[in-house]
A and B are shown apart, each in its own frame.
Chain A
Amino acid sequence: MIITLNWATLLLVIVTSTGLLLSRDWRWGLGLLAVQYLSIFWMVQAHWSIPMAAAKLVTGWMACAVLGIAQLRASKDGETEITWPHGRLFHVFAAGMVLAVTFALSLRVVNWLSLSLPVAWGGLLLIGLGLLHLGITSESFRVILGLLTVMTGFEILYAAVESSSLVAALLVVVNLGLAMAGAYFLNITQEKTS
């Protein structure tokens, strides 16, 4: 049962992280990120206690909320973000490449970190797609989404080797800090007038 759920979670990670890469509307982006945090909760709880894993989920959703509110304030007309290159086909192809590379890597990481394959692949996939996201955009909101994705991928892998409460707390602060930085960037043009 748990194995099946792990694979289902991996599927969710693939869908959400690829969707994040393809989506051009910020609402979709944040929705996918919020769902992504749900899968991260499941992957982290394999190594951490449920309350600590839940803290990650709540933090992720808080980050989504912060970014969502900032976006609402910044772009009332519902403008969309543009990334480079624009072609969705390119994004799908690049995501496929990352999927393949991270699968190959995860076979080694499984032994190295004593993780199950879907968890290791999920973590590496998030790091890979997050980096891809960072590589193809210079728009601050998308950069923050990319950084949050990289950090969550790392947190999945790191949870297997470190269970310190202080690290968990500091990572929470870093994640929220990234979201607040994103919110600040989105509303910075209004700072002077206010």
Chain B
Amino acid sequence: MSAPLLWIFLPLALAGLLMLLRNQKAVSLTACFFTLFLTIAAWLLPIDAPLTIGHWTFKLTPSFEILGRYLTLTSADRSLLALIYGSALFWFVPAASMQIAHRLIPLGLAFTSLLVAALAVVPFLYAALFIEMAVLLSLPLLSTPGQKPGKGLIRFLIFQTLAVPFILFSGWLLAGIGANPGNLSLVQQAAILLGLGFAFLLAIFPFYTWIPMLAEEAHPYAVGFMLWMLPTVTMFFGLGFLDRYTWLRDAPALGIILAAVGALMVITGGILSAFQNHLGRIMGYAAIVETGFSLLALSLGAKTGMSTFLLLFAPRVLCLGTWSLALSILRKHAPKLTLSEVKGLGHRLPFAASALILANLALAGMPLLAGFPAHQAVWEGLARSSLPLAFWVFIGSLGLFASAIRVLAALVMAPEGIHWEAHETQAQRSFLLVGFLALFLLGLFPQWTLPLWVKLPAIFEYLGQ
């Protein structure tokens, strides 16, 4: 058996089967157990080494040939596979308590396996096509049945599709640079195409407009899942470029560009979030700020940059998960997620309201919460190189903080005589409680997540050193 068969084709096939099932519980249980199995398998099973269980010996081969090219997953990729499928499990389990499960779980599983295929394909440039396929598959998930597709969804499709030609052409140019490294005009052309490709793919300023629009239109939980999974895999894909091409890695302008673009995203995203009246849009802007922080982390340089970049993942998945779950619960009790419509809803949904505020504050880098250690590391690193830049990034985070205060004010603002009474279901309360306990615990003990990330840099030959 080959590793791509286990982590790509089997989940894809199961996703197809689950789409045929009507029973939401069966769909949720099957997918959750299977994703758990894939996560544990990624953690424990060696690739390309024999494994003996009793009298039974088997070996997972790393490659799978497809039309003359290969999908390859090596032992070094196991921690990344565990991260991807582990986080998918993190999203699928609470989904069972919502009506979106029958769409999110099968499509989410197929989406995840296509993104894994994107990371596994050799030559790695073809990943852009797998990502596009995953994007196309996510459209039913992000659209609302019975309603025409919104502008955000259309723009998401356009931007992601436009990324494909840029990435593929830049790949061809990069191959040319390998043969002729002294050709500066070729280097310049490749860098421009690559930059544009990733600007579209990663929703980098100014191509991030679809995120808040989509977060307003679509189901918050589906948007949260997509805003976690897609940028994460795309960032690893992007790091693959840095790892493979020395001229790109060693380019003096790289750090400056990453810092400038990252800061622009944090500042604009943070400040704009403070002026939003829709709770979904605020989450969208928070996701933009997070992408900005990832770029800022990478701008810090080789080893510090990589460890800070990885440190951002655990709080991000936790915050986005808790935030989107809370938003989904609020959405069931309010016609719209605007501040005026959710006024006083905190009295009826105290668990969801608290989880939402805590997740927002955590992504704003509030001390004692999950986002603080990683954000503090970025601020510290930036302050060492440029104090004004660190200040402006801090202003961006302050914008996110201001949006949390505005939402809090709206949620607790209720006419006199309204009592606090929890209307969330028992399962929802449990998930939210786990979420906000984890937000505190990760803030107080960030080192607990270290074993999860320690092996991750091994997927990169140079960046991991």
Contact = CB atoms under 8 A, between A and B. Distances in A.
A144 B10 CA distance: 31
B302 interface: no
Given A150-B165, A166-B69, A192-B145, 8 more contacts: A140-B149, A143-B158, A162-B168, A162-B172, A169-B67, A177-B133, A184-B140, A188-B148
B147 A170 contact: no
A48 interface: no
Interface residues of A, number: 34
A66 to B, nearest CB: 13
Given A174-B129, A188-B147, A191-B145, A164 B69 contact: yes
B145 A188 contact: yes
Contacts of A49: none
B177 to A, nearest CB: 14
Contacts of A166: 66-69, 126
A48 B154 CA distance: 32
A174 B136 contact: yes
A165 B68 contact: yes
B388 interface: no
Contacts of A170: 126, 129-130, 133
Contact of B162 (A150, A161, A174): A150
Contacts of A138: 151, 154
A77 to B, nearest CB: 17
28 contacts: A140-B148, A143-B154, A147-B157, A150-B161, A151-B161, A158-B168, A158-B169, A158-B172, A164-B68, A164-B126, A165-B67, A165-B68, A166-B68, A169-B67, A170-B130, A170-B133, A171-B129, A173-B133, A174-B132, A174-B161, A174-B164, A178-B136, A181-B139, A185-B143, A185-B148, A188-B148, A189-B147, A189-B148
Contacts of A157: 169
A70 to B, nearest CB: 13
Contacts of B126: 164, 166-167, 170
B252 to A, nearest CB: 27
Nearest to B139: A181
B415 interface: no
A154 interface: yes
B136 A189 contact: no
Interface in A123-177: 127, 134, 138, 140, 143, 146-147, 150-151, 154, 157-158, 161-162, 164-167, 169-171, 173-174, 177
Interface string B64-79: 0011110000000000
